[in-house]
Structure 1
Amino acid sequence: MLRAASGIFPLMVRTAVGSHVRKLVSRPAALTLVRTMTEKVEQLNEFQKSKLKRKFFLYDIDDDGFVEREDYDNYIAKIKEAYDLSDDDPLLKAFEVEFESHWQQMLNFMDENADGQLSLEEWLHYYPNITANVHAKNQDNLPTFLLTMADTLFDLMDTKKDGVIDAEEYSEFWTKFDRRYPVDVATAKEHLAHLTENGKYDMDIYHYRAVYADYTWSDDPDTFGRYAYGPIVL
């Protein structure tokens, strides 16, 4: 069911067509939803939009313009193939659990028209929802499902299992998962220098959480978490 910002649930007419059920949303309610989503998206600057688009297109594995459950399943399959993981590998199992939680949370936050898939507009609308009413924008206040996702991504990137992500690991991960924007080792070193504030911090799991939180919340293109999800195209 649509969730309009006014808090009023729109009327829906259910019309049976053969074995299917078609849902028709009243025009005023639909216009209210579009207007509300547009207003929230307009609150974002170009950097924030670019970050969200980056994540959206990484998840939209089949490039159909929507993030669906099948995309999450395909993402898991991509991880399995890229890192040659067996079905019972603990890391793969952990990622499956976190992705399932992540998907359900995304639907709860984003799926405005309850169609089981997420459009780019819904994805962009999501950002103000998770940042609202949070005063201290740091890793301590990340929603649990995002914090655990950060930890799982770190574990996946840390192929050497030494507790620190280096340039080779960063390059390998983002090159495997987005061949549109491959990251060579030289570029990875530049990104890590930015992420660690020129070596002020090790890229361990604690700093990666801070990087992930900064990426989630910051509206500054020069912020230290800029490359948490690889290259950003503004």
Structure 2
Amino acid sequence: MSNELNEFWSEKMKRLFYLYDIDKDGQITPADFEILADKLSTLVGQGDDKRREEYATARKALCQEIMRADANQDGKVTLEEWLDFHRQLAIELRKPGANPELLPQLTQRINTTFNMLDLNHDGHIARDEWVKTCQFFGVDKDLADNSFTQIAKGDHLEEATAKKMFFDYIKTDDPNHISNCCLCFL
């Protein structure tokens, strides 16, 4: 990675860190995921008990995967731990012949993220699911809709395409890569 692009990659990983740091205390903890899951389940109109339970399960899985970055095992992920962890993932993903599916510390997180976005569990992310979730993370509705148009075929983002973009987001340091629109979801 060149210094300029490395700076870009670091900045996008920092933005991602701060999206997960819901309570804005400078660290990611399991409490952040409880807040996130509650807010997200309310946002998407999933007030029924079954969907709330699904979000609680997803929150727990997502929390466990992200907490793998807690290098000193103190129950919180600092920005430094976050960047170190993701730097190692990016290095692994960039290796020739690397199979991202073999990185369990990222694969489970991506699967969980996809399942949280696929609100009706039909195997793809619909435009309205994408836009609602983007808006939850503070992205303008029109910008979210335009980004969906760039990455999807029609009104659906297929599972394989979405997951590939999520992997690409972690590994790329190209500021123009299409996967950069995935910021909200990893």
Report the TM-score range of the alignment, normalised by the length of the smaller protein: 0.7 to 0.9
Higher helix proportion: 2
What are the Cα deviations for residues 173-214 of structure 1, in whole angstroms up to 9, with x where unaligned? 1112x2xx3321x32232123324xx4995111111111111
| TM superposition outliers: structure 1 runs of 4+ over 6 Å | none
| Partner residue, 1:31 | none
| Partner residue, 1:8 | none
| Partner residue, 1:25 | none
Cα 1:191–1:140, aligned 2, differ >3 Å: closer, same or farther? same
1:149-168 alignment to 2 at 5 Å?
149-159=109-119, 163-168=123-128
Q: Of the two, which has the highest radius of gyration?
A: 1
Distance 1:193 1:120 in 2: 32
Distance 1:116 1:44 in 2: 31
- Percentage identity across aligned positions? 24
Deviation, 1:133, is 4.1
| Partner residue, 1:125 | 84
1:39-118 alignment to 2 at 5 Å?
45-86=6-47, 88-89=49-50, 91-108=51-68, 110-118=69-77
Report the RMSD for the aligned CA atoms in angstroms: 3.1
Structure 2 gaps of 5+ residues are none
Cα 1:163–1:204, aligned 2, differ >3 Å: closer, same or farther? same
Q: Which moved more, 1:166-175 or 1:131-140?
A: 131-140
Q: Relative contact order, CA 8 A, sep 6+: which one is greater?
A: 2
Query: Given the alignment of the two structures, is residue 171 of structure 1 paired with residue 131 of structure 2, yes or no?
Result: yes
SS of corresponding position for 1:113 = coil
Q: TM-score, normalised by structure 1?
A: 0.64
SS of corresponding position for 1:63 = coil
Q: TM-score, normalised by structure 2?
A: 0.78
Distance 1:86 1:228 in 2: 26
Structure 1 gaps of 5+ residues are 1-41
